[in-house]
Amino acid sequence: MSRMPRVTRVIPVDPRQPDPAALRDAADALVAGRLVVLPTETVYGLGAHALDETAVAAIFAAKGRPFTDPLIVHLASANELAGVAVDVPAAAQAFAARFWPGPLTLILPKHARVPDRVTASRPTVAVRVPAHPVAAAVLRLAGVPVAAPSANRFSRPSPTTAAHVLADLDGDVDLVIDAGATDIGVESTIVDCTVSPPVVRRAGGVSLEALREIVPAIVAADATVDATTAQIAPGQLLRHYAPQARMTVYDGDASALIARVVREVRGLVAAGARVGVLAPDEMLTALAPALAGGASHGRVSVASLGPGAAPEAAARVLFARLRELDATGVDVIVAAGPARDGLGAAVWDRLRRAAEGRIVPA
């Protein structure tokens, strides 16, 4: 039986001075078991009362998300951690003291009160305290932990604006709080604190370099699993954050990379394809003369990731650019990424998964 469509209500707010009535509406809706989309500093999240199994199940239904993919539980402050996790190790306490509120998720032994549906039936729970003033205020008012994956269709690019949310989920959620574009643009870093040394399970808004200032022995994993396997953390599937167009990422020395991309784009255009090119500014400038013919015939669309040496700029716009290229009707996206340091690690992780692992050396 198909689900009855909801009437999705959108409430615009000023992120610096949000309307108290809008915040109360969102908090009351969460407590009542409804689906509420909240802005965070990373991406927009699809929230539901984390201890209400029916509400949690509605998240999976709205997104089309497999139950093997666990959710992140959001708290108003670290003081609420004991309500969803137990036996919190010293490393996790140190990370929380340094990075909460902020774009860091910690995997911890779960409290028995957390439903198995939240954690893919695993004995661990992923937890974070968001820094966005709207999300933080709603969580304080609601007084309950909130499970909130990204507010998009499963495997699609994550939403960094309310418009992205509505493009995917209009009619499937009850309320969207629109506070403008998010600041960071990629999801939180996920650190598994149930093992020693801790392991980064997903690169994100807190860099590995910053984490090593707290726990120098921390390591980074680069795992992929299939959708039938219960995942220890979100973001482990090989195909994730993906545009509708087939995407390939090219990597290598700048001059070789430019030559390779020119050949690929010209070949695709000659074969009748409409091509999107996603790359840092410097590469797009170098490519412009060679691709001018295809662009002039409407066969090549370009999208910028910002300066190549500024991966934080690429992180902020990556998902929006993927959606913009899809909107032009391209068949194929040819992509190259920014520097890999800092947030560059998260950008490259998203590019690889958006391309379903298709990274080709120049």
Tens digit of pLDDT per residue, the chain (362 long)?
A: 456 678 999 999 999 999 999 999 999 999 999 999 999 999 999 999 999 999 999 999 999 999 999 999 999 999 999 999 999 999 999 999 999 999 999 999 999 999 999 999 999 999 999 999 999 999 999 999 999 999 999 999 999 999 999 999 999 999 999 999 999 999 999 999 999 999 999 999 999 999 999 999 999 998 888 889 999 999 999 999 999 999 999 999 988 999 999 999 999 998 999 999 999 999 999 988 877 765 556 789 999 999 999 999 999 999 999 999 999 999 999 999 999 999 999 999 999 999 999 999 98
Cβ(84)–Cβ(127) under 8 Å? yes
- Element of type H or E holding 317: helix 311-327
DSSP symbol at 312? H
Rounded to whole angstroms, the Cα distance separating 322 from 346 reads: 15
Cβ(55)–Cβ(29) under 8 Å? no
Strands 359-361 and 246-251: parallel
Rounded to whole angstroms, the Cα distance separating 176 from 172 reads: 11
Residue type, 176: V
CA proximity to 321, closest of 276, 360, 356, 269? 276
* pLDDT score of 247: 98
Our separate counts of H helices and E strands in the chain read 10, 16
CA dist list (Å): 40 to 182, 251, 302, 340: 7, 31, 28, 24
pTM score, whole prediction: 0.96
Task: Show the domains of the chain with their CATH numbers.
Answer: 9-220 (3.90.870.10), 246-361 (3.40.50.11030)
Residue type, 273: A
Looking from the CA of 271 toward its CB, the CA atoms found within 13 Å total: 10
* pLDDT score of 223: 81
User: What is the sign of the dihedral through the CA atoms of 60, 316, 198 and 49?
Assistant: negative
Only one residue has tokens 């860099």, namely 207
Q: 307 has which bridge partners?
A: none
Looking from the CA of 206 toward its CB, the CA atoms found within 13 Å total: 26
Cβ(276)–Cβ(250) under 8 Å? no
As given in the structure block, the two tokens for residue 200 are: 């980064």
Q: 104 has which bridge partners?
A: 189
Rounded to whole angstroms, the Cα distance separating 241 from 321 reads: 12
DSSP symbol at 270? H
Looking at the chain, how many residues does it have?
A: 362
CA proximity to 35, closest of 130, 133, 177, 245? 177
CA proximity to 302, closest of 286, 325, 320? 325
Only one residue has tokens 């020693």, namely 196
Rounded to whole angstroms, the Cα distance separating 298 from 273 reads: 11
CA dist list (Å): 1 to 4, 54, 117, 197, 210: 9, 17, 21, 47, 48
Sheet of 36-38, strand order: 9-12, 175-178, 36-38, 45-49, 146-147, 72-74, 124-128, 104-109, 189-192, 199-202, 219-220
Rounded to whole angstroms, the Cα distance separating 85 from 97 reads: 16
Cβ(215)–Cβ(198) under 8 Å? yes
